[in-house]
Amino acid sequence: MLKLAGVGAGYGPVQVLYDFDLEARAGEVLCLLGRNGAGKTTTLKAIMGLLPLSGGTVTLNGADITALPAHEVPKRGIGYVPQGRRLFSELTVSENIEIGLMARGNGRATRARVLEMFPRLSERLDQRAETLSGGEQQMLATARALCLEPSVLLLDEPTEGLQPSMIQLIRETVEAMRAQGVAIVLVEQRIEAVLTLSDRVAFIENGHSREVVDTSDLTAASPLLKKYVGV
């Protein structure tokens, strides 16, 4: 579904990713795992066209999307929930969702479906996003990305700083998306969440792609985790 082949990317003269390969399949959760600064968020930004690539290709269902302008990438069906949520704080919950409906989706039906997944947001439609709790903000950021009806969803540390009940809700959402055949690329630091949520784990080290393993082959004491994450 989503494939990165030989991708090189970075920030100006600083190269972060080197000859990076990754493949996410439909209906699976692929977790990108590595130490801080390994290049996980950079990978997501490279997929979204937010960083110029110094080499390699990004393809979605066989179509090359490498050279697309950044605002065209979501229209092809890739949703991105960045770390720290980044909502439009002055807009209301309703307006945040509306703004997510533009690129794809059939308006009202999509809106209703998304709100059904997050009933708590339905109760706060006229509330400004900045007044929501951390968990509700994460819900809204995820809901907004789902408005695109993505076939690939990129989630950057979605459970960061959330209380257990909210983490559970995010999990359920991820599982529901997976069941719908969406390919999910997850950046997550909490090993317990990685082991319970993902189907495969792709390790990343200093901007290089390393082993890709089935999660069922991993345990909390796996030497791979010690090698690439240090736990």
- Look at residues 194, 210, 207 and name the one whose alpha carbon lies nearest to residue 46: 207
Query: How many residues lie near other proteins (CB under 8 A)?
Result: 29
Whether residue 7 contacts residue 15, with contact meaning beta carbons closer than 8 Å, is answered with no
Which part of the chain contacts other proteins (CB under 8 A), choosing from 33-41, 80-88, 198-206, 218-226?
Answer: 80-88
Beta bridge partners of 212: 202
Selected from 37, 54, 67, 99, the binder of other proteins by CB under 8 A is: 99
Selected from 25, 71, 190, 227, the binder of other proteins by CB under 8 A is: 71
3-state class of 76 per DSSP? helix
Report if residue 122 touches other proteins, rule: CB under 8 A: no
Report if residue 144 touches other proteins, rule: CB under 8 A: yes
Provide, rounded to whole angstroms, the least separation between the CB of residue 128 and other proteins. Answer: 6
- CB under 8 A, 24+ apart: contacts of 214-220: 215/31, 219/195, 220/191, 220/192, 220/195
Report if residue 104 touches other proteins, rule: CB under 8 A: yes
Strands, sheet with 14-24, edge to edge from the N-terminal-most edge strand: 14-24, 2-11, 53-60, 63-64
Contacts with other proteins by CB under 8 A lie at: 48, 50, 69-75, 80, 82, 86, 88-92, 95, 98-100, 102-104, 126, 128, 131, 144, 148
